[in-house]
Amino acid sequence: MNYLDPKLQARQTQIVEVLELVCQSLELTDAQFSLARQRYEGVGACLAGSDDPVLRAIAIYLQGSTALRTTVRPVGVNEHDVDLVAHVSDLDVAISPAALKKAIGDCLRANGNYAPLLEEMPRCWRLSYANEFHMDITPSIPNPGCRSGGELVPDKTLRAWKPSNPKGYRRLFEERAKLVPMIRLRKRIAKDSTHANIEPYPEAGGFKGILRRTVQISKRHRDIVFVDEPDLAPLSVIITTLAARSYEWCVRNHEYDNELELVLDVIDHMPDTIEAIPMDGRIQWFIWNETTAGENFAEKWNRHPERAESFYHWHRAFRADLAQLVAVSGLDRLSEALKGLFGSRPATAAMDSLTDRVTAARSGGNLFLAPKVGLIVGALPASTAVRANTFYGSNG
């Protein structure tokens, strides 16, 4: 067995805990969680209750960070994005994206509760709840050419359908998130627990899982780096996809001394599956959606090469900043490093919570905290039935 410096173990364990606390501070509060569920169910009920024959088989379900449980509070505001898909299962490609989008918008506009909140976006409808949520509702229809149950969603111009597969993407992400890494420190802790004074990591709101936390800290750092240039910020779906692929490769191929070592390795390997192919004298970039044919998450990089440069710039900065975080010692220096990485508010919230825990542990004689992996917090409801229509929740 490899010898691990106890001081190094303690510092790395503390950093894992701090990152967990940072992520908790960026998520929905319990009140926001309940409110999001109410808003979500209300929109589903409204659309499912429409008399419009175009919407007779509407299904509503979550996509994006809310469905994956990787939400991150935007920098400087108190609002979260909640992304929904409004899927009409018995329509074919004969209907135009603009026509389906109009039918959904007309239904929402006819409801007195939603009319004043409704905002038209290029490909979707947005319901803006001030200081609460932005709820984006994207139309979709089945994709007959996708064997894995994919869908078609509007392109930016509403002139054509383009492939996507939010359900399949979520299933693949969850399969990867469930992979359990081999952590040597955890094995050692289990073996020595009868002889050590160990306080388990708290169950309530516990460690959500290394993949999800890696995605969250990556997205938050991205938001900090590009706070003044948001149009150049790498898309969340790109960060999530690359982190998930890297996590699977790392877990299947290596053992790690601790969770932090795994997180750093996952981040290091994120660019490995980006395809860069020379075509006509320039580089074409591809980050394919593995769950449906034809969706390239990096398509904007090919029209705007500066976006590819921005991704690699961010990735280098993220690796360097995390290395600096690992190297610091002392709570004051740790606090300053966290502020540079993730912003003042989550850093302060994390350090305040950590200080409280350290004080309580010291008074109780327990200063060693052993993080767990894979404890899951609640998600929005799996399904909600509305009238005779099919109305799916986050597992639909």
Task: Show the tokens assigned to 282.
Answer: 């320039």
Task: Show the tokens assigned to 105.
Answer: 């918008």
Residue 122 vs residues 125, 153, 265, 386: alpha-carbon distances, Å: 8, 12, 38, 28
Considering only 26-30, 104-108, 274-278, which range has the smallest mean pLDDT? 26-30
φ, ψ dihedrals at 131, nearest 5°: 60, 20
Could you report the per-residue pLDDT of 218-240, keeping only the tens digit for each? Answer: 999 999 999 999 999 999 999 99
> Helix, strand, or coil here: 133?
strand
Could you report the per-residue pLDDT of 81-107, keeping only the tens digit for each? Answer: 899 999 998 876 688 999 999 999 999
Could you report the per-residue pLDDT of 149-200, keeping only the tens digit for each? Answer: 999 999 989 999 999 999 999 999 999 999 999 988 655 544 444 443 333 3
pLDDT score recorded for residue 392: 29
| pTM for the full predicted model | 0.85
Are the beta carbons of 165 and 289 closer than 8 angstroms? yes
Q: Which residues of 330-342 are buried (b: 16+ CB within 10 A; e: fewer)?
A: eeeebbebbbebb
> Up-side HSE of residue 395: CA atoms within 13 Å toward CB?
9
Using the 8-state DSSP alphabet, how is residue 132 labeled? T
135: CB partners within 8 A, 6+ apart: 39, 40, 43, 81, 82, 83, 84, 126, 127, 128, 129
Residue 371 has pLDDT above 70, yes or no: no
Give the integer Cα–Cα distance in Å for 165 and 148: 8
Which residue in the block uniquely carries the two structure tokens 């409204």? 46
